[in-house]
Amino acid sequence: MSAFDVQAELALRRKPARTQVPSEMVRTRRSAGAAFTLACDASGLEDKEIYSALDLDPGTFSRIKSGKNTLAADMIRPFCEVVGNTVYPEWIAYTVGCGLVVLQTESERRALEAEARAAEAEKKLAWALELMGRGRESP
């Protein structure tokens, strides 16, 4: 057996296609499996890329797509991050007569993080300038 026979597969992670799926298309799905499959298809990623990123085995992933299993509630957020859409939770909300509302867009989240970093940098600069000012006053 050569070294190439036992070589592990390199795990690469592509970014999903960030496409908007129309609500009408989401609402026409008849099962959780169909909504899950739509979310996967809209991502433009291969199934293996999705289930590997979520640490799901291929059998479980296949059963979720077929509707025999459902995605655990604590896996919905990571799933949405991997596939780059919210099709699956939108469908779940629709089935109980509700809708989803985005609380904070990605750009708003990034802007808040940048503001926090800028405020921290300003504090550090003020502290450094204060120390330098004190150092000059000392004989």
Residues 47-90 pLDDT 10s: 999 999 999 999 999 999 999 999 999 999 999 999 999 999 99
Q: Where are the domains of the chain?
A: 23-95, 103-139
Helix spans in 15-105 (H) = 23-27, 32-43, 47-53, 58-66, 76-83, 87-95
Average pLDDT (17-39) is 90
Asked if residues 51 and 83 have their Cβ atoms less than 8 Å apart, the reply is no
Mean residue pLDDT across the chain: 87
Q: What kind and span of H or E run contains 127?
A: helix 106-137
pLDDT band, very low/low/confident/very high, at 100 (cuts 50, 70, 90): confident
CATH fold of 23-95, please? 434 Repressor (Amino-terminal Domain) (1.10.260)
**Residue 21 C-beta-side C-alpha neighbours within 13 Å:** 25
